Amino acid sequence: MSVGQYLTRRLQVWRAVTVDDGAGGQDTSRVLQGTVRAKVDQPSPTERLVAAQAGSKHSHDVWLRAGADVRRGDELRGTDALGQAQRFRVLSVVQPSRPVYSKAFAELIQEEGA
């Protein structure tokens, strides 16, 4: 089974990187790690209910290739079908017992007033 044909979006993967600031502290910034092919879905009503009961902020499912380097805490950036910029914070990443795809549970980050 190949999921590649369904992964029609390209999302940039941004990861938090911490470096010493030279004055005894640290600076954290997001660094572009690369681009992945993805499919972004809204979760089903059942998934939303389970997430709400668990106190999760899960708003979207992001389907990826099994080997995609996407981790909890990453930020996925891209545009929707209308060309509007979107950012997703990855809450967790899971794979089925036979790793043919990865599924990231993500929260859509919207700017104030958006």
pLDDT tens for the 114 residues of the chain, in order: 567 788 889 999 999 999 888 888 898 899 999 999 999 987 777 777 776 776 667 789 999 998 899 999 999 999 988 888 999 999 999 988 888 899 999 998 877 765
* Burial class of residue 36, CB neighbours in 10 A (0-12, 13-18, 19+): buried
pTM as predicted: 0.81
* Domains of the chain, each with CATH number or no CATH: 4-109 (2.40.10.270)
The tokens for 2 are: 């190949």
Give the Cα separation of 91 and 50 in Å (integer). 14
Cα-based distances in Å from 27 to 6, 70, 76, 111: 38, 22, 21, 23
Note the pLDDT of residue 59: 82
Note the pLDDT of residue 2: 64
Note the pLDDT of residue 87: 95
